[in-house]
Amino acid sequence: MTERKKSFKPVNKTENRKTYKKYTADKTENRKNGNRKKSEKNAVDRNDKTVLKNVQPKKKTEKSLCPVSSKCGGCQLLDMPYKQQLEQKQKNMRKLLNPFCKVEKIIGMEDPFHYRNKVHAVFGHKKDGTVISGTYQEGTHFIVPVDECKIEDQRADAIIRDIRDLLRSFKIKTYNEDTGYGLFRHVLIRTGFHSGQIMVVLVLGSPVLPSKNNFVKALLKLHPEITTVVLNVNGQKTSMILGEKETVLYGKGYIEDQLCGLTFRISSKSFYQVNPVQTEKLYSKAIELAGLTGKERVVDAYCGIGTIGLIASSRAKEVISVELNRDAVRDAIVNAKRNGIKNVRFYQNDAGVFMSQMAEEGESADVVFMDPPRSGSDEKFMSSVVQLSPRKIVYVSCGPETLARDLKYLTRHGYNAVTAVPVDMFPATNHVETAVLLQRKNM
């Protein structure tokens, strides 16, 4: 076995010197580049406005319809063409609900802007004392100043801007969440789409508003369209906007508006859908899905101020409406009298507990309308629906994911989902309202 000899190239000193020079030059250049990049990064981190050499500028993005949309986070789809918004929502709804039932074409809006009839603004101030109002930055309690919102009622936005100026004129201090000092916390405005009535709710940390009569007089001079002003007291360190105690400073303390041919009284704490144009379409579709003939006994769970039950009452024999919120029940009773409706009864109770009691007492219902909050219904509530065993359930949902979760439960406990009708109640956002018809399997 012969040993393999290693072969060596002859040393070329000139070439080695060139290589070494190139290596040292590259190393020096790399070090310079590294230092440059480091200094550039530090300059960016310091928000340095100095123009940096050799920094590639970012590509310009299209200007948003709203200057604070990236901070606010409320309108995730604002800059997407409306047709494309509807297509995306339709696709998402089919993906979520196709395992349960067919999904009809989403019902959109002709004008998808300035639709919100309920507007909330939080008030605060900058370090220099300048009063600001707006919304909380998504996921935080930092205030994003807002002068005008593309989905809010424009009258409400104008009133909020002028209240901000009045606070300066009257030297009223805004509330500081960190210290608990200050007075003025929030403004809540509700507007009547058909009636034109406007309610302004001033939310304070204590019940004393300095020069309140002059303040209200100045506000009404700027906005004579305001029909009522309410002072709400919230002295708690809480994320809730409204407190329990209220005083009417001007007007009746509530507004009225028309929906599906009926008149409804709306107070500051009552639930009322924020998009009146789409609400009429949604409720009409929900009642259509129920297929009422005038002979049915209907339960309206989570009834709020009685909207669905009162609208459905002309097509049903009897409506039993249940709501936990005492203020909403009070409004609902007034709404029934206001519209001359006598076949609807209202109960202030937890809807799940109430229906369980109905079932235990041998009571029955033909149709249950359920319109829960975005978090959906808990299993206890749905168990009470199954226990009551109505022939039909019309589930009105504002949370597609929780709707899919609840349909899974109901379809495993004796019901078939027949059809789902999505309604775009919240243009420019990811949210969708949906009406779903379920029928008992042994029908």
Q: Which residues of 309-335 are buried (b: 16+ CB within 10 A; e: fewer)?
A: bbbbbbbbeebbbbbbbebbbbbbbbb
Grade residue 56 by pLDDT with cuts at 50, 70 and 90: very low
Region 148-169 average pLDDT: 96
Instruction: Check pLDDT > 50 for residue 58.
Output: no
> 344: helix, coil or strand?
strand
Instruction: Check pLDDT > 90 for residue 43.
Output: no
pLDDT (tens digit, 9 = 90+) per residue, 419-432? 999 999 999 999 99
Residues 6+ apart with CB under 8 A from 12: none
pLDDT (tens digit, 9 = 90+) per residue, 92-138? 999 999 999 999 999 999 999 999 999 999 999 988 889 999 998 87
Percent of the chain with pLDDT over 70: 86
Region 301-308 average pLDDT: 94
pLDDT (tens digit, 9 = 90+) per residue, 328-357? 999 999 999 999 999 999 999 999 999 999
Grade residue 52 by pLDDT with cuts at 50, 70 and 90: very low
Q: Which residue has the higher pLDDT, 32 or 292?
A: 292
Edge-first strand listing for the sheet containing 118-125: 143-145, 131-136, 118-125, 184-191, 198-204, 228-233, 245-250
pLDDT (tens digit, 9 = 90+) per residue, 238-273? 778 999 999 999 999 999 999 999 999 999 998 899
pLDDT at 443: 67
Per the CB < 8 A criterion, the answer to whether 206 and 157 are in contact is no
pLDDT (tens digit, 9 = 90+) per residue, 173-193? 999 887 888 899 999 999 999
pLDDT at 86: 98
pLDDT at 137: 85
Instruction: Check pLDDT > 80 for residue 79.
Output: yes
pLDDT at 298: 98
pLDDT at 419: 98
What is the C-alpha separation between 116 and 431, in angstroms, rounded?
A: 14
| DSSP codes of every residue in 361-380 | TT---SEEEE---TT---HH
Q: Which residue has the higher pLDDT, 290 or 32?
A: 290
For 263, 357, 364, the CA distances from 361, given in Å and listed in that order, are 34, 6, 9
- Mean per-residue pLDDT over the chain, rounded: 87
Grade residue 64 by pLDDT with cuts at 50, 70 and 90: confident
Give yes or no: 75 in active site. no
Token pair 């801007």: residue = 161
Token pair 């309108």: residue = 75
Grade residue 39 by pLDDT with cuts at 50, 70 and 90: very low
The amino acid sitting at 320 is: I
Instruction: Check pLDDT > 60 for residue 150.
Output: yes
pLDDT at 17: 45
What is the C-alpha separation between 8 and 30, in angstroms, rounded?
A: 32
Nearest partner of 435 among 262, 317, 288, judged by Cα: 288
Give the active site residue among 72, 149, 303, 398: 398
Instruction: Check pLDDT > 50 for residue 10.
Output: no
What is the C-alpha separation between 112 and 107, in angstroms, rounded?
A: 12
Q: Which residues of 211-237 are buried (b: 16+ CB within 10 A; e: fewer)?
A: ebeebbebbbeeeeebbbbbbbbbeee
What is the C-alpha separation between 79 and 34, in angstroms, rounded?
A: 39
